[in-house]
């Protein structure tokens, strides 16, 4: 929350600065940004933010916000065509919103966190809603659009915004009635609607997009239609949901358009804390629910499970984010058939009792009761938590191994560990000091990104601190990089907002120009180490080569 608010005020301040510089203006309580169409040359304005600088009382005494489609300023009239990104975020005093005729676009997160917002009226001119403009509007229930709108409708007073041509619900609330003819439920359409408790999705719906019911914390039951074919990451954070039944025709789970990386594939039940049962229709040709988990039949890949799931013999792969954020109160058992564990299959998981790998497994082991999963051939710890014991033979910490875990305040990485994989300790909470052993030779990119680290302690050194290793460690205030370190990569300490005290070794021959971007010590590093900064590095190397060639 603190990070978000900081970012928001930075955005508002930058917009205020633009207005003062002639790129916009303030009229009443609204701030406007002037925009010029590159094709037509038309000049229009977007409501860029509320001017909060001189206000200490609520903005809207009547609880109703009307955003005009035209505004006059200094004798000139402007068309208002857009509501800008984050324009009214966290405005808790808005209960009713009326968007004026002429406005064509509502941009990303424009009304994010307007927790008291209950009703929205859209104009006939609306053409586009960007990504999640009404996320965390918990009480939204009444949604209307002008009957003259050619692209959207709210047919039959259904209290939803529907993209007419595709028959897709793009915005819904707790009082939405699903009309006939709907085929799609759009991304984030019902996200964070706390009033939703029981939902019946009507026949005819073929796809529910990513996050459609994200964080609907009071949703207890949902009935999915036989017509459903595609089900993206839909139920994350539905902490009251007790069971999920996957119909016969569903042939695609997860994998939203444009998703990449660890969190861009798979299908997650993360945050479904009350879930007891996952069932797949026995006639489904693509998936089954063996072990109370979701398994892809053709590959025997477990794509999603939760704390009451079991990994059955016959499962060959545990897929990306299959158990993300799960706390296992009982023993987790990895059978001998499992020959592949995705690096981020267990991101943020904790093993309350223990984790054990079958003694006959050809790829993995849990040697000497270490409470972790180890790749036998390489000695790489694939997954651990705060209870894991680093026994003999473990020589590296794999990608995402501790990602998102709660760790003790002082975490000593033992001697013998030579490599830490990328993202291995990213987003870890509780940890304040990490002790690196003299055996350590490599730390992967983003290894501690976003963790709660405050200080670093080195018993030896690595030659290179790679890109974004300690980025966004906002509690980090003191570092002393040991002698022998030669390179500090791009964004290595990016946005470490409390990093004031830095001691760098004389062995450094390269510091990326953005290594300390956003840190209080950034200017001091630039001043005292200009000869090895990347902005001057290329020229310096060319000069050296020229001298050597003469």
> SS in 3 state form for 220-262?
CEEECCCCCCEECCCCCCCCCCCEEEECCCCCEECCCCCCCCH
Q: What φ, ψ does residue 510 adopt, rounded to 5°?
A: -160, 125
E strand or H helix at 8: helix 2-18
pTM over 0.85: no
Q: What is the pLDDT along the chain (550 residues), one digit of tens a residue?
A: 333 333 333 334 333 333 333 488 988 888 999 998 777 778 899 998 776 666 555 656 668 899 999 999 999 999 999 999 999 998 888 999 999 999 999 999 999 999 999 999 999 999 999 888 999 999 999 999 999 999 999 999 999 999 999 999 999 999 999 999 999 999 999 999 999 999 999 999 999 999 999 999 999 999 999 999 999 888 888 999 999 999 999 999 976 433 433 434 456 787 888 999 999 999 999 999 999 999 999 999 999 999 999 999 999 999 998 998 888 888 899 999 999 999 999 999 888 778 999 999 999 999 999 999 999 999 999 999 999 999 999 999 999 999 999 999 999 999 999 999 999 999 999 999 999 999 999 999 999 999 999 999 999 999 999 999 999 999 999 999 999 999 999 999 999 999 999 999 999 999 999 999 999 999 999 999 988 988 754 454 555 555 555 5
Rg, Å, the chain Cα set: 27
What does the alpha-carbon distance between residue 323 and residue 334 come to, in Å, rounded to a whole number? Answer: 13
| Inter-residue contact 115 to 137 (CB < 8 Å) | yes
| Inter-residue contact 289 to 280 (CB < 8 Å) | yes
Cβ neighbours of residue 290 closer than 8 Å, sequence gap 6 or more: 312, 314, 315
| Inter-residue contact 67 to 32 (CB < 8 Å) | no
Collapsed DSSP state (helix, strand, coil) of residue 13: helix
What does the alpha-carbon distance between residue 446 and residue 454 come to, in Å, rounded to a whole number? Answer: 16
Q: What φ, ψ does residue 200 adopt, rounded to 5°?
A: -120, 110
Pull the structure tokens for residue 209. Answer: 């997009």
What does the alpha-carbon distance between residue 412 and residue 431 come to, in Å, rounded to a whole number? Answer: 10
What does the alpha-carbon distance between residue 182 and residue 168 come to, in Å, rounded to a whole number? Answer: 6
Cβ neighbours of residue 56 closer than 8 Å, sequence gap 6 or more: none
Pull the structure tokens for residue 472. Answer: 């966004």
Other Cβ atoms within 10 Å of 122 Cβ, number: 22
What does the alpha-carbon distance between residue 166 and residue 206 come to, in Å, rounded to a whole number? Answer: 12
């Amino acid at each position: 929350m603190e990070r978000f608010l900081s970012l928001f005020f930075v955005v508002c301040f930058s917009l205020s600065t633009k207005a003062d510089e002639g790129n916009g203006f303030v009229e009443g309580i609204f701030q406007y940004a002037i925009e010029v169409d590159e094709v037509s040359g038309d000049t229009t304005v977007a409501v860029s933010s509320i001017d909060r600088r001189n206000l200490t009382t609520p903005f809207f005494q009547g609880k109703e916000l009307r955003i005009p489609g035209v505004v006059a300023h200094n004798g000139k009239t402007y068309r208002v065509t857009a509501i800008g990104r984050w324009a009214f975020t966290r405005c808790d005093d808005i209960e009713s919103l009326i968007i004026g005729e002429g406005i064509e676009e509502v941009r990303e997160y424009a009304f994010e966190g307007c927790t008291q917002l209950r009703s929205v009226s859209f104009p006939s001119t609306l053409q586009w809603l960007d990504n999640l403009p009404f996320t965390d509007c918990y009480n939204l229930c009444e949604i209307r659009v002008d009957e003259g709108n050619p692209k959207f409708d709210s047919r039959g007073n259904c209290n939803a915004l529907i993209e007419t041509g595709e028959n897709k619900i793009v915005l819904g609330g707790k009082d939405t009635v699903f009309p006939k003819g709907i085929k799609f439920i759009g991304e984030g359409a019902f996200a964070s609607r706390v009033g939703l408790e029981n939902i019946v999705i009507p026949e005819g719906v073929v796809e529910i997009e990513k996050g459609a019911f994200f964080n609907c914390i009071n949703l207890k039951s949902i009935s999915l239609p036989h017509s459903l074919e595609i089900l993206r990451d839909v139920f994350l954070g539905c902490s009251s949901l007790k069971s999920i039944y996957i119909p016969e025709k569903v042939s695609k789970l997860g994998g939203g358009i444009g998703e990449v990386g660890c969190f861009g594939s798979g299908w997650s039940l993360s945050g479904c804390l009350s879930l007891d049962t996952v069932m797949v229709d026995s006639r489904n040709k693509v998936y089954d629910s063996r072990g109370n988990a979701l398994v892809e039949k053709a590959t025997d890949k477990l794509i999603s499970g939760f704390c009451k799931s079991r990994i059955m013999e016959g499962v060959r792969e545990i897929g990306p984010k299959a158990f993300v954020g799960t706390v296992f109160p009982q023993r987790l058992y990895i059978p001998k058939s499992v020959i592949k564990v995705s690096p981020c299959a267990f991101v943020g998981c904790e093993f309350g009792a223990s984790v054990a790998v079958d003694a006959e497994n050809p790829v993995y082991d849990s040697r000497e009761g270490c409470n972790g999963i180890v790749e036998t051939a390489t000695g790489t710890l694939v997954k651990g938590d705060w209870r894991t014991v680093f026994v003999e033979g473990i020589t590296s910490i794999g990608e995402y191994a501790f990602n998102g875990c709660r760790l003790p305040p002082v975490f000593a990485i033992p001697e013998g560990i030579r490599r830490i994989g990328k993202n291995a300790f990213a987003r870890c909470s509780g940890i304040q000091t990490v002790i690196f052993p003299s055996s350590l030779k490599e730390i992967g990119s983003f290894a501690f990104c976003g963790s709660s680290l405050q200080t670093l302690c080195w018993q030896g050194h690595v030659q290179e601190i790679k890109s974004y290793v300690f980025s966004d460690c906002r509690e980090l205030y003191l570092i002393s990089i040991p002698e022998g370190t030669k390179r500090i990569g791009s964004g290595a300490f990016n946005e470490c907002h409390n990093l004031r005290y830095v001691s760098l070794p004389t062995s450094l021959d390269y510091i990326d120009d953005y290594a300390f971007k956003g840190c209080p010590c950034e200017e001091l590093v630039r001043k005292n180490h200009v000869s090895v900064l990347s902005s001057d590095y290329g020229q310096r190397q060319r000069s050296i080569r020229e001298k050597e060639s003469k």
